[in-house]
Amino acid sequence: MSDPIATILVVDDEAPIRRFLRTYLTSQNYRVIEAASGGEGLTLAASQRPDVILLDLGLPDMDGMEALSRLKQWSQTPVIVLSARGKEEDKIVALDAGAEDYLTKPFGVGELAARIRVSLRLARTSGEIREPVVVTGDLRIDLADRRVFRGETEIRLTPIEFKLLAVLARNAGKVLTHTQLLAEVWGGKNSDQAHYPRIYVHQLRNKIEADPARPRYLRTETGVGYRFMLIESE
């Protein structure tokens, strides 16, 4: 058998779920380590240095949000929250606290596998100097020169539009909440600015998407925020 692709830490107090995830992830050539509590999860995260952490929010010794907050004080390991809490506000709180992604139970293993692959790409680039050009599909974003092209055609963006697109592109594959975008692009979280991301994403779609009504690059995570998609070049 070939070496494992990566190490995944599963933090969940339900043994059947841990067993299910271990069986599936092992079949996908991942090394799996497990924790049944938040404290044990934090210890393993520090000692084993996993590549991705799957974190349940309903833990016996502490709320999963507390475990996430404590983890993110010292670790850059991508965290995918797996939780039965499916309300939009729960997702927003977790993502604002630093989680890279959020899946509501029950979930499909195919979707979980895709989210893990995205998180691994994030982990592998988080400590590297990012390329100044992001290419996805027929879209090319030159972050250094602040120029955007669709095919051979240059797209003119306003300074705010480019800043928003750059923040999303640098975090490709990751859900960014409205609060995170407000802080990154507009420097605040004022309630009177809450509609800004929606307005400017709409403007961006009209400029960079071939069909703004069915966007390929700027995907909406309903009630939560937006995700910039990487697509194979055409």
Does domain 7-126 fall into CATH 3.40.50.2300? yes
What's the mean pLDDT in 104-128? 82
Residue 129 has pLDDT above 50, yes or no: no
- Give the DSSP H or E segment for 47: helix 38-48
User: Helices 196-208 and 159-170: crossing angle, nearest 10°?
Assistant: 90
- What the block records as the tokens of 68 is 């996430």
Cβ pair 212, 224 in contact under 8 A: no
Domain 133-228: state its class: mainly alpha
Return the domain boundaries, the chain: 7-126, 133-228
What's the pLDDT at 234?
A: 54
Task: Please tell me the predicted confidence (pLDDT) of residue 212.
Answer: 94
Distances (CA, A) of 108 to 54, 112, 153, 185: 14, 6, 39, 34
10 Å Cβ neighbour count for 85?
18
Task: Kindly report, residue by residue over 141-151, the tens digit of the pLDDT.
Answer: 988 788 999 99
Q: Report which secondary-structure segment, H or E, holds 191.
A: none
Q: How far is residue 151 from each of residues 47, 168, 209, measured CA to CA in Å? A: 47, 20, 12
CA 42 to chain centre: 20
Q: Using the predicted structure, report yes or no on whether residue 164 has a pLDDT greater than 90.
A: yes
pLDDT tens per residue across span 173-196: 889 999 899 988 988 766 677 789
- The pLDDT value recorded for residue 127 is 53
For the record, the structure tokens of 135 come out as 């290419």
Write the CA distances from 55 to 6, 37, 72, 78, 91, integer angstroms: 17, 10, 13, 10, 13
The H-or-E segment that residue 162 falls in is helix 159-170
- Under the banding of pLDDT at 50, 70 and 90, the label for residue 209 is very high
- Amino acid 171: pLDDT: 86
Cβ atoms of residues 123 and 158 within 8 Å: no
